[in-house]
Chains A and B, each alone.
Chain A
Amino acid sequence: MDQGPNFSETPHQSVSFDDGLTLDCGRHLNRLTVAYRTYGTLNAARSNAILICHALTGDQYVAETQPVTGKPGWWGAVVGPERPVDTERYFVICANVLGGCMGSTGPRSPHDERPGEPWGVDFPPVTIADMVRAQQRLVNHLGIAKLFAVIGGSMGGMQALAWAALFPEQIFAAVPVAAAAYHSAQNIAFHEIGRQAIAADPSFHGGRYWAQGVTPARGLAVARMTAHITYVSEAALTRKFGRKLQGASDLLIGDRFEVESYLEHQGSSFVRRFDANSYLTITRAMDLFDLAADHDGSLAAAFTGTRTRFLLVSFSSDWLFPTAQSRAIAKALNHVAANVSFVEIMSDKGHDAFLLDEPDFHRTLSGFLAGCAEHAGLGA
């Protein structure tokens, strides 16, 4: 299958750092590019900046049309004028993660030693902390000494936690949503199915598919389909599809359940906007995430002395990053007497609830930010 025509050619706003970035794995990237978008206006005191961190398959187009898919921004319900993250009040930054495929340095970027070809599978393994360090370079480049808040869901929540652990003095508030302080065995297991599906695709060519002018679309689609099931709850799937058939009233050989064609659609639309090697790189980064392990097994130690204000949000039907994970983070933050708000939102929409219309979540986020703004001395 051919790569989508727009995919590789779409230009993205970005900044490049010629001194590169040294990664957790010890390797050094000679050149670091961070693709990003901003919304709203930075105030004179440079104190109203909010960094939004995207999830595994998200991108920097948080509140505007995604140029490759033509679809609305992935968090338009949360970020925008008079939204919880109000772009008339805050200066919002969102960057494509390191290892991504929307303009930031990743497997599709030119290889450091062989500039004529992309990194592909040779792209060094990156971590959530590496992603955060890349974002920090961007934030510094924008002349922002302290972020008012770092907000993210799922893998974005991992980044928010990593920000709080790595650069506590550089953020006033952190909002990890539907997140966890480590990737569980079950999380890793699902990711591994996806990676195996990609690797098993004959078009994968050991990761050098670009050299053959093909993409492992089938494998990537299966990876997406598997992952997608983990993003929704059983109740939501039942509500949406139940046992309904596609265009037929009785189940005959050859007929399809609606849920099947839905998943198929999820898979096929995904491969048009995502690079398989990026998927491998980023899922691995999530698997490697374990904030406590980085602090001798103590999650509390990651936050010692923190003055950051935290809002933890979980969703009741999220079985990928269940409430217990957020509660464990809250507990660790209590250990260091941190300022923490913690809310579990009742929802039957599963992990994806953080992306969907959840008025309680939106009100909570908006109230938390307003409270923080008061404490930070940000005028209304």
Chain B
Amino acid sequence: MSFTQPVRFVAKNMRVDLALIAGMVAPRSRVLDIGCGDGTLIDHLFRTKQCDARGIEIDMAEVTRAVTHGLPVMQGDADSDLANYPDGAFDYVILSRTLQAVERPREVLRQMLRISTFAIVSFPNFGHWSLRLQLLFGGKMPMTRAWHRMWYETPNIHPCTIRDFFALCEADGYKVEQWLAADEDGKKAPWRKFASLANFFGEQGLFLLRKV
């Protein structure tokens, strides 16, 4: 890792994505939540959908909190530890608001779809209009609710837009089963049929992928 501090997306708030992501997961499935924080989502998936849900989290304090609540969470790193799992170990692997903070996003996605049938990925959309305007008129790295750390200290080293992500999925042969753009509060945005509008107005993108 290139950071001495644990990589955590600064605006991480599981409750924002929780309902949307949980809505994509089938009951009683095997789930791995990467960057699970204190395990709120895996607890939710176990209690409401009887999933066999587990988590990986890089921040030891969060891991301890999760395990203290009886949740199966281990300290680990998305960049290096997914390689340890066997093919098809899970039905869903979730990467919520972490893609932009990993060192090798493409490899992480590849590993996710190796160890799991589906991958659920959410990330803050760098194509949002307010970021574009700030860069255009201010000439400085944009600061928003989602992107609110200075460029020299942000853990979010691989920002991308919703369109960028579509392009990567196509290049690497991942089928987008479902996708949506949402605002920071996790409300679904109405422009979901038009990717370019979503890329302009959506604060975050949420994708359900599978290998073609």
Contact = CB atoms under 8 A, between A and B. Distances in A.
A367 B68 contact: yes
Interface string A334-355: 1111011111111000000000
Given A343-B60, A344-B60, A360-B64, A367 B84 contact: no
A323 to B, nearest CB: 9
Contacts of B90: 337
B172 interface: no
Interface residues of B, number: 22
A340 B72 contact: yes
A226 interface: no
B70 A372 contact: yes
Nearest to B54: A339
Interface stretch (B73-81, B174-182, B190-198): B73-81
Interface in B80-94: 81, 84-86, 89-90
A54 interface: no
B174 to A, nearest CB: 22
A294 interface: no
A343 B70 contact: no
Residue among A331, A343, A366, A372 having the largest count of chain B Cβ atoms under 10 Å: A343
B67 A341 contact: yes
A337 B70 contact: no
Interface in A340-380: 340-346, 360, 363-364, 366-368, 370-372, 374
Contacts of A363: 64, 68
Contacts of B81: 331, 334
Interface residues of A, number: 27
A371 B46 CA distance: 11
Contacts of B72: 309, 339-341, 371
Nearest to A313: B67
A311 interface: yes
Nearest to A312: B74
Interface in B27-79: 52, 54, 60, 63-64, 66-76
Contacts, number: 67
Contact of B63 (A334, A343, A374): A343
A337 B74 contact: no
Contact of B75 (A337, A342, A367, A368): A342
A92 interface: no
Nearest to B32: A337
A364 B74 CA distance: 12
A341 B69 CA distance: 12
Contact of A343 (B54, B64, B86, B89): B64
B74 A336 contact: no
Nearest to A316: B60
A331 B82 CA distance: 10
A336 B115 CA distance: 12
11 contacts: A312-B74, A331-B81, A336-B86, A340-B72, A341-B71, A345-B64, A364-B68, A370-B70, A371-B71, A372-B70, A374-B70
Nearest to A323: B75
B27 to A, nearest CB: 17
Contacts of B66: 341
A98 interface: no
Contact of B69 (A335, A343, A360, A371): A371
A221 interface: no
Contacts of A368: 67, 70
Nearest to B74: A342
9 nearest A-B pairs in the assembled complex, by CB-CB distance: A371-B70, A342-B74, A367-B68, A337-B89, A334-B84, A363-B68, A341-B67, A370-B70, A331-B84
B91 to A, nearest CB: 12
Contacts of A334: 74, 81, 84-85
Given A339-B54, A343-B75, A367 B69 contact: yes
Contacts of A366: 68
Contacts of B89: 337
A370 B70 CA distance: 6
A158 interface: no
A345 B60 CA distance: 8
Given A335-B86, A337-B85, A343-B74, 8 more contacts: A311-B67, A334-B84, A341-B73, A342-B74, A342-B75, A343-B75, A346-B60, A364-B68
Contacts of B64: 343, 345, 360, 363-364
A197 interface: no
A77 interface: no
B19 to A, nearest CB: 23
A333 to B, nearest CB: 9
A367 B85 contact: no
A158 to B, nearest CB: 20
Contact of B74 (A341, A360, A367): A341
Interface string A315-340: 00000000000000011001111011
A27 to B, nearest CB: 39
Contacts of A346: 60
